Chains A and B, each alone.
Chain A
């Protein structure tokens, strides 16, 4: 099989995607970060610290759980859930935050900033900032603040300052713009913890490395339970970090199918979605070249998804590359499909998934029934749905009035 490039080139490019498309003011910082990360990666002490916090603070390894009732319900593939929702703070986001905050400490940075959509990355960032005694500023779109109130309160409890972003449409991309503006202004002391496999090099590769713990554990756990590799991996895609974390350690295993699920919103045909690969075109935003939702003139179009964490008009550059290579299949699930899968998971497994993760489950609902019972399917349950109670209640309440 033709193996895709697993590491970006010297300019941070995966094929034509990725790179470092940032203002000159940020270039020296990004180069410094890359140098620091390259040393840290090979430093046993850094790896030891990382492993320590992953286990004793985050609670890893989390289980690879055989979802017996979902399996029965769909009557096909044998479904396993990778339980990222059991991590401290309730999502995979903290895997990356722990890694980056340790780097920030190493670099002597004094202040942490981050963007957040659903608030899960914001909460995870505020959490590690509290743990390491660093002041923390979170940029969050005003639209998202409204639909993710519990997370806003959590961040504040953790001591973070949450700055509402009203520019643009007040969602994740605007929060990222604002975080970049903060960074470019506070270059000396600030570390920007990007929450997904996007942004300028080295972020996409670095965040992926920190998230790859998901795939490595899955591999070992599947070996233990079934004595072999899984047949397929399914994960939802906002920027693509939980998916990349699960997929990456399996990229060279040709027998393992991988499916990334984008947010289809009201349907890709409707124009109201967040499916960059299925409904976008290549472009340059937030430091990298990737697939973007944009109009004919290169203006970025707002994404739409019921799930704030998937509401981003781009996707990590490595996904764009894997898409063009055909190594990973990228599909989409609509708001309605995700809500349905959300409820199925609640009722059958007693697990309330995040609306983001429910998109992955929606794809399972389509795919699993057609597969044989010896097909081993792993779904990344990237987060728990406590934060979504209000949105879901609102949605279902309206529907069943």
Chain B
């Protein structure tokens, strides 16, 4: 399968089903590589539609304490870029349809070598990249080369991205657009749904890509409300917290999958209640 097609195919299928995607975030190698692989492998069965897999970085400036600690746990256990790609490759042996998006910071990719990284990532079965610290002004660094390797470059739009700037942000975006619900780091609190809905509908005027909403979404209830007007709901810190609070690897695996299942169930039904569909 052309890797580029996985994200598009998944979002097209969800549109027919009239439900938003559940996008999960966990950090690769957290709490250790073997457990992390079990977590990753079980996500589709738990109802996750699109997987974001974090590439741990020592200095995660855009992350709150939960994901900072996850990165440190993973690095302490010896996680590397190569091991993260290896996890994706192993996942792909069992699952050829669930899109995987690698998320992180530029330096580990830069150090690995942009071209070599993109080649290895495409070969491993990576579908997209979210790299927090490369704005569109630097699209020539990674965004454009990624496209040449058939890897989507997912852009973040934020509450500070004004209408004037949106075309620049969306220019080379592909896969989907990630709307960051609040100005802040991951793990903070989400704004009111009304405010969010307005922001998402404003975004829709500028892009045909599916719109995911993330930052601050923790519970199935929140996910259901946001899933009514967005194409995807991203949950990260809450899942990562399950790993931090687990006493054993088994508990970590179960904790993440249980929460994912609850979230998936909740958003599956979210558009069947009263509210009409927004598309």
Residue ranges of A at the interface with B (Cβ–Cβ < 8 Å): 11, 19-29, 167-168, 173-174, 177, 180-181, 184-187, 281-287, 289, 292, 294, 296-300
Contact = CB atoms under 8 A, between A and B. Distances in A.
Interface of B: 57-62, 64-65, 68, 75, 80-81, 105-112, 132-135, 137-138, 155-162, 165, 169, 180, 183-185, 188
B133 A177 contact: no
A25 B159 contact: yes
A284 B155 contact: no
Nearest to A32: B160
Contacts of A292: 107
B32 to A, nearest CB: 16
A23 B61 contact: yes
A294 B138 contact: no
| 4 nearest CB pairs, A to B | A298-B111, A298-B108, A185-B184, A25-B158
Main secondary structure of the interface of A (DSSP, over half): mixed
A284 B165 CA distance: 24
Contacts of A177: 59-61
Nearest to B180: A25
A223 to B, nearest CB: 41
Contacts, number: 117
Given A24-B157, A168-B58, A299 B137 contact: no
A24 B135 contact: yes
Nearest to A188: B183
Nearest to B138: A19
Contact of B180 (A20, A24, A29, A294): A24
Contact of A24 (B75, B105, B108, B156): B156
B133 A287 contact: yes
Contacts of A186: 183
17 contacts: A19-B138, A20-B137, A22-B133, A23-B156, A24-B155, A24-B157, A24-B158, A27-B135, A27-B137, A29-B160, A174-B59, A184-B183, A186-B183, A281-B111, A284-B105, A298-B109, A299-B58
Contact of B80 (A20, A22, A289, A297): A297
Contact of A298 (B68, B110, B156, B185): B110
A27 to B, nearest CB: 5
A20 B78 CA distance: 30
Interface centre among B62, B107, B161, by most A CB within 10 Å? Answer: B107
B188 A23 contact: no
Contacts of A297: 80-81, 108, 111-112
A288 to B, nearest CB: 10
A273 to B, nearest CB: 18
Contacts of B183: 25, 184-187
A23 to B, nearest CB: 5
Contacts of A300: 58-59, 107
Contacts of A168: 58-59
A25 B215 CA distance: 13
Contacts of B62: 23, 25, 181, 184
Nearest to A178: B61
A134 B136 CA distance: 33
Nearest to A173: B59
B132 A283 contact: no
Contact of A283 (B107, B161, B165): B107
A185 B105 CA distance: 19
Contacts of B81: 297-298
A289 B109 CA distance: 13
Given A20-B137, A285-B59, 8 more contacts: A24-B135, A24-B160, A25-B161, A181-B61, A284-B106, A286-B59, A297-B80, A299-B58
Interface centre among B133, B159, B162, by most A CB within 10 Å? Answer: B133
Contacts of A289: 110
Contact of B111 (A25, A26, A167, A296): A296
B184 A23 contact: no
Contacts of A299: 57-58, 75, 108
